[in-house]
Amino acid sequence: MSNHKDLEHNKRIVEQFSKQAIPFSEVPGHRDFMQLLIQMSGVSSSDNVLDVACGPGLVACEFSKVADHVTGIDITAKMIERARCLQEEKQLTNMGWCVHDILPLPYSDNDFSIVLTRYSFHHFLKPVEVLAEMIRVCRPGGRVLVADVALPSEKSATYDRLEKIRDPSHTHALTVPEFEALFAASGLGHIQRGSYKVELELEQQLKASFPDPGDEEKIREILRADLHEDKLGVGVHLQGNEIHYSVPIEVFVGRK
């Protein structure tokens, strides 16, 4: 049973991502490194895949080109609506979608051979419980994959402050040690890791974001101030007059 804090947070997520459904799917960096996820998951034509917090379906659609079937689940109806449109554009038929909270996931134990999520853990109030649910619905011998922002411990609090201004549904970007501990305690075996960086241009990112009124300039000021300091851990730099930054992503995969 969700408590009041959970319900309020879920409401913030739905408010934010109902607005972000289309612009989020159009941010260039959000389509990068799909092949790395496919490779690390080991997905094949026999796999039944679940994409948790699937958003606009970018990852789910890529996996469906390889897997037997892919299901995407997300709490935001507008995101699932966008995902269905993407599926139709790509003429993919081996897919299903579900609008539902993920605590708990509405599936039986051992339903899927691969359970994955990308760019979602920094929105969760209870990442340990989410990972446990992902493991529960994964069948023995299957794989569980999480890809998300992961920062050095000394950069995390500063980055979180920025992201909570840009996106009020942000909770906490796990640090690299926190991710390591999460998977070490999960019971998963054969843990593999990968990493990459997503290059973002500030103004494009702001067009896909919906901060509170007046906060866009505050975000610009924070990033400009970090050009020569890197307190955020995202390597803020200029390309011409544009502010760019590179968000570090860690990918963890374990076998149940």
Secondary structure of residue 196 in the 3-state scheme: strand
Over the stretch 159-217, which tens digit does the pLDDT of each residue have?
Answer: 999 999 999 999 999 999 999 999 999 999 999 999 999 999 999 999 999 999 999 99
Backbone phi, psi, residue 80, to 5°: -65, -35
Strand partners, 138: 112
Over the stretch 20-30, which tens digit does the pLDDT of each residue have?
Answer: 877 777 777 77
Q: What residue ranges define each of the domains in the chain, with the CATH number in brackets?
A: 4-152+169-197+248-255 (3.40.50.150)
Q: How far from each other are the two terminal CA atoms of the chain, in whole angstroms?
A: 26
pLDDT for res 103: 95
pLDDT for res 2: 57
The candidate with the shortest Cα–Cα distance to 119, out of 150, 149, 82, 161, is 149
| Length of the chain in terms of residues written | 256
Residues of the chain with pLDDT under 70: 1-2
pLDDT for res 1: 43
CA distance 114 to 72: 12
pLDDT for res 36: 96
Helix, strand, coil content of the chain in percent (nearest 5):
45, 25, 30
Q: Which two tokens stand for residue 73?
A: 């689940």
Residues in contact with 88: Cβ distance below 8 Å, sequence separation at least 6, in sequence order: none
Report yes or no: 116 and 52 within 8 Å, Cβ to Cβ: yes
Q: Which two tokens stand for residue 172?
A: 């906490």
